């Protein structure tokens, strides 16, 4: 019984410190955040912090990894048993990405403001998933190189995500997917865009 309570307490402390870091980054910027700020905001003790993390950079890395792992789980879950895919299913995938980011927008905004290299890490995480997804597409255009299609789609989606964030998430996730589909679909299907 003691171990379970101790484990729950450790998890609670860790979560409190992660939440504190996110809040502080949004309030004052990553460079201004101190260990004292984190433990005061989290309601923990400096020794508790040191039990879990060497410094605020390690805490930031944990927050970043948690965010990216959550996104990876959201992306992979629907395809666990799939052998083939159709292009119209990609809209559902994009919607999952936009919804995940919207649901975790304070974390996302804090990570963008911190030196977490989030843009590149998001690109890499989505790309590794997309490589599998695009190869499962049974109706993908043969004349388009898979790697170029993946890069184009991800870069477009991330550009929209960054603008969506800059605008304060005014549009819904569904609206953002519609915009993405219009941009990508129009470009890929427009004969004037082909040699």
Domain end marker among 38, 53, 68: 53
Are residues 68 and 4 both part of a single domain?
no
Q: Do 60 and 112 fall within a single domain?
A: yes
Are 18 and 103 in the same domain? Answer: no
Number of domains in the chain: 2
Range of the domain at 90: 55-193
Which CA distances in Å does 127 have to 40, 41, 108, 155, 192?
Answer: 38, 36, 18, 10, 27
Verify that 40 and 74 share a domain, yes or no: no
Q: What is the pLDDT of residues 127-166, one digit of tens each?
A: 887 776 666 665 566 777 878 877 887 888 888 999 999 9
pLDDT for position 42: 97
Are residues 60 and 144 located together in one domain of the fold?
yes
Q: Following DSSP, what letter does each residue of 26-81 receive, concatenated? A: HHH-GGG--HHHHHHHHT--HHHHHHH-SSHHHHHHHHHHHHHHHHHHHHHGGGTT
Q: Could you read off the pLDDT of 34-74 as tens digits, one per residue?
A: 999 999 999 999 999 999 999 999 999 999 999 999 998 88
Q: Residue 18 sits in a domain of what CATH number?
A: 1.10.10.60
Q: Is the domain of 39 the same as that of 127?
A: no
Q: Both 67 and 132 in a single domain?
A: yes
Return the pLDDT at 195. Answer: 41
Whether residue 7 contacts residue 42, with contact meaning beta carbons closer than 8 Å, is answered with: no
């Amino acid at each position: 019984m003691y171990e379970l309570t101790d484990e729950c307490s450790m998890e609670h402390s860790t979560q409190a410190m992660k939440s504190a870091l996110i809040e502080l980054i949004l309030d004052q910027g990553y460079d201004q955040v101190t260990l004292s700020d984190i433990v005061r905001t989290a309601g923990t003790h400096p020794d508790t912090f040191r039990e879990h993390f060497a410094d605020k950079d390690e805490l930031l890395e944990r927050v970043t990894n948690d965010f990216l792992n959550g996104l990876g789980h959201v992306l992979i879950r629907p395809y666990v048993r799939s052998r083939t895919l159709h292009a119209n299913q990609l809209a559902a995938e994009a919607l999952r990405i936009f919804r995940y980011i919207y649901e975790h927008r304070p974390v996302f905004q804090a990570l963008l403001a911190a030196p977490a290299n989030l843009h590149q890490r998001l690109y890499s995480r989505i790309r590794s998933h997309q490589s599998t997804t695009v190869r499962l597409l049974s109706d993908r255009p043969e004349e388009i190189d898979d790697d170029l299609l993946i890069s184009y789609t991800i870069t477009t989606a991330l550009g929209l995500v960054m603008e969506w964030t800059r605008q304060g998430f005014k549009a819904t996730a569904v609206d953002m997917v519609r915009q993405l589909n219009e941009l990508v679909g129009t470009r890929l299907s427009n004969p004037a865009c082909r040699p």
